[in-house]
Every structure is written in structure tokens, then in C-alpha cells.
Structure 1
């Protein structure tokens, strides 16, 4: 059995990477940060036109007709590019909320613990929240400049069947971010010199980069496997591994960068802050561990 991506899947991943590099490269990323994190509606519509949100809708309903394995490849690339916005919720709402598939509607979700909701002030609908209606709310300070948080009024909605797929797609975003921080660390280690040689020649830096790569590849493998099986416990494990890879990878990348990594001009801090937020979305570490423990107890029962 061949577990490698097919040629069509590799072409899909390459196409998405090219699209995002052309439409949301570093200059656009920094412009978003400087602009206060306001969602780019034109970009959202372009994503919809490219099939980002309708990827898994049947062709008969105007979608692309692909599956979860292809979706995680696409979301991995979005995580690598730090593409902002409620991507997961809008993708899950395709075919349910009018305009979500086409990118003409922005859909968020009650995917955080408590009453916090991302991008509530820019959303047209809320997944799992009272028929999609957008509740009133007040903005609260967010650690990530590209993920505005709002405290919603009323009661949080029920994500129900969306939770597992939401957790998997968020894990794919985390895996993409983790892989990108590996690239950033390795490139900087090859360029930055101390004592007459690149810092990448020092054993301590080599070990940091090697550990980053191992965590990122392990997370990516777990995400791909969970996308094939769709098993809840495997999705929980993938989310755990991807959250760890993204958060610890960004921290290690900061160590490789040294003082430069803590400046606003470097992009490393954006990966770390986004990873912190995503780790609390759809399924937290505590929730994932609880689900895995329940599965282990079930399997151990006589």
C-alpha cells in the first residue's frame, strides 16, 4: 500500500502554495499586521473562487468534490503562509451557510473555550450558533495581531459533528506553521555568522533544528493518517502533536534567531502567537488527552 501523496495531490499542494505566494506573500502578511488585522474580503473571495472553501463539496453542488486528505494538504499550505481569517469554520460551512463556499460570506465558530470567538466583528454567520446568526459581542485583546478576539453575548453554540473535522483541519494549519518555522530556522542558521562561520555549524543549533524537523514531520504524518481514517482518537492525537510541533517549533526558531527573533520585524513571533491561539481552538490538549484516555480504557476493557 502506497501512503505517499498522489501526483494529483502533489499538484494541488504546489498550486495552493503558488497561489498563496503570489497573493499573500510576506509583503501582504506584514501589511495585514500593520493594518490591524482587518480581514481582506477581496482575498476571501479569491480563495472562494479558487475552491478553497468548496473543496469537499460534491461537484453536483458546485464544489470540487475532493476529500479530507486533499483538504489537509491545502490547509497545511495555509498554515505555512500564516493565512488569516476563520478558514476552518468557513470551509466547514460550505454548502450550509449561503456564500461560504464562494467566499462571499465569512463564517466563524464557537471553537474556543468559553464565550470567545475569533473574527466575530467581521463575520456574516457563526457556525453552531443559533441558526448561524451573529451574536452581539465586545472585542478583547488578542495575542495574535491577525486573529481578533471577541467576547460573545449569550450562550456558546454546539459544534456537534463539526468538531472532529475542525480539529483535524486546525492540526493541518499547525503542521504547516511548524514546517515553515523549520525552514526559517535553517535558512537563518546558514546566513547568520559568528566567530567567522555560520551559526548552523554549531552543534547546539544543529540539534535545535533537528528536533524541530522531527516534531514537524511526526505531526504531519499523524495529520495525514487521521485524514485517511477519520478516526476521532487519531484526530485528537494529530491535534496534540501538531500543537506541540507548532508552539515548540516557533520557540526553538526564536532561539536560533537570537535577539533578532524577538523583534517586530521578524515573522517568527507571528507563528508563535498564531500557534498559541490555534492550540485552544476546536480541541484543546486537555480535551484531546481525555478522549485518548477514554479510547485506551475502552480497548483495555475485557
Structure 2
């Protein structure tokens, strides 16, 4: 089966990319990393005005009236830009929590024993009794550990996380290719060397494989498809960011580079929505159930 974006879907993706390029470009990302970890409320409201959170709400309820495939495209762009904040939790709360759809209310949720942006949120979904702050790997994702049993993950939250991971996988592939063309050693671009070329090719294959899986899961909304997409997207993001660091060498670890930020965010995302193990168990159960 072929999955091709419609003209409207491409326009939506391009519009979100342009919005983020204006409101959260590379300089804004670096400034956010250097400064105190605070959620940009003006940016959050701008996302609300653009329909980011109300994308799947029916038009009769004041939403945009689009579906899961469009939400995946939007969250892919958010992942590509390393947009900080509890995006999925606020998106899922639109229509249920006043102000969430408009970006006036920041919503976070207890997810797999963790809560992101707990102190910045206006509304918290889930019990946060006994929450303890953690030192997060990602400087733009403050975390709290929340004791107690973890609830079953929402499949939509799993898929939106996979879409953000896909955004990182695509972005680090772009960064690696750009650096491989521009950086020279021994009078040649480093991309001309086989070892670097193989790293870049592997990143591209993983990113495009994850893209197909994520887009397909957005169409079918099948839990097993979503689990498979999550696993492929996690691998593409984490493995791709690590390979991108290899292509950049020591430069990738510097604060001037965004490469290490993609790796750190990708690691944090792997703990969301039940983590990798939850998706592995769901996919394994589906495969066993389908065995004759």
C-alpha cells in the first residue's frame, strides 16, 4: 500500500515548519538551553492560535476537525525543531481541559512513573503525590519521578511520541549529510569516505523505514501498528543521533551544536507512554495471537 500526503497535508506540514522557524529557530533553541528552564507561554499561545492543540477537535467544538495523520505530521515537525513542553499531554487534553485547545492552559500528565514540566503546568492529569524532581538528561525536559503503578499508555500518546522521534531521526540525518558535505579532511569532504557514507546511509534507511511505519499507523490506528511504529521510531531517533555524533566527531558534543540535544531528547522520549518494553510486549502478544 502506498501512503502519499495530500496537498492539504503538505501545506499543513510546511506551515508548521515555517511557524516554528519564526518562533523557535536554532538561536531560540540555544537561548532556551542557556537560560533558566521555563516554558515560553507566548510560544505556547502561538501554537494554540495555529491550531496545534485543537487539531483533532471537531469544528463544531471549536477545533480544526482534522485527524490522526495530520497530528502525526505536526508532531513530526515539533520533534524536528526540538520544541520543548508537554505537547502531547496538552494536545490530548484539548476539549476536556478549559484553555488547553487555545494554548492558554499547559497540561502535563503522569506517564510511566514520570511527569514532564510538572512545576510549569497549570493542570496535571494523574496523581503526583510523592513526586520527586530528577536530573533530566535533556536540559529542556524537566522531570519528576512519581511513585505508584503506571497506567496503561494511551495509543495516541504512543503514536505522537513516535512522530516526535521521527522528527529527530529526520533532522539528525539532515545534519549529518550537511556536515559530511561541508567538512573536509585530506582535501576531500568527509562524506567521500566509505565509513562516513555508510553511517549516513544507515541513518537515512532507519528514518525512512520509521516514517513509513508511523504514517501507516496514523492511518490504521491499530495498536499493534502503533507499537511497531514506536519501536522503529525510537531506534531511528536514538541510533541516528548517535551516528550523527560520530559524523560530527567532537563538535557534536559542544553546546553550539544541536546534535547532542537531539540525542538527549530522544533518550527521554523512550521513557514515555510505557517505554519501549510496553510496545515490545504489545507487539509480541499480537504476533503470537495471529500465529496459526
Normalised to the residue count of structure 2, the TM-score between the two structures is 0.96
1:252-284 deviations in whole A, cap 9, x for unaligned? 000000111121211100000000000110132
2:98 paired with 1:117: no
2:21 paired with 1:51: no
2:286 paired with 1:295: yes
Whole-angstrom distance in 2 between the partners of 1:135 and 1:120: 12
Please tell me whether the aligned partners of residues 241 and 263 of structure 2 are also in contact (alpha carbons under 8 angstroms). yes
Corresponding residue to 2:162 among 145, 160, 171? 171
Select between 229-238 and 259-268 the one with higher mean Cα deviation.
259-268
Secondary structure of 1:264's partner? coil
Please tell me whether the aligned partners of residues 172 and 244 of structure 2 are also in contact (alpha carbons under 8 angstroms). yes
2:213 paired with 1:215: no
2:141 paired with 1:147: yes
Matches within 5 A, 1:56-95: 56-95=56-95
Matches within 5 A, 1:1-302: 3-112=3-112, 114=113, 116-127=114-125, 129=126, 137-152=131-146, 155=148, 158=151, 163-301=154-292
Measured at CA, do residues 94 and 142 of structure 1 come closer, stay the same or move farther in structure 2, by a change above 3 Å?
Answer: same
Alpha-carbon RMSD across the aligned residues, in angstroms, is 1.5
Please tell me whether the aligned partners of residues 176 and 244 of structure 2 are also in contact (alpha carbons under 8 angstroms). yes
Secondary structure of 2:111's partner? coil
Please tell me whether the aligned partners of residues 3 and 215 of structure 2 are also in contact (alpha carbons under 8 angstroms). no
- Residue correspondences, number: 292
Whole-angstrom distance in 2 between the partners of 1:221 and 1:58: 27
Secondary structure of 1:182's partner? helix
Deviation at 1:111, TM superposition (A): 1.6
Secondary structure of 1:110's partner? strand
Measured at CA, do residues 20 and 110 of structure 1 come closer, stay the same or move farther in structure 2, by a change above 3 Å?
Answer: same
Secondary structure of 1:256's partner? helix
Secondary structure of 1:117's partner? strand
Secondary structure of 2:45's partner? helix
1:89-115 deviations in whole A, cap 9, x for unaligned? 100000011111011111111123x3x
Please tell me whether the aligned partners of residues 251 and 272 of structure 1 are also in contact (alpha carbons under 8 angstroms). yes
Whole-angstrom distance in 2 between the partners of 1:266 and 1:195: 24
1:158-177 deviations in whole A, cap 9, x for unaligned? 4x5x6100000000000010
Normalised to the residue count of structure 1, the TM-score between the two structures is 0.93
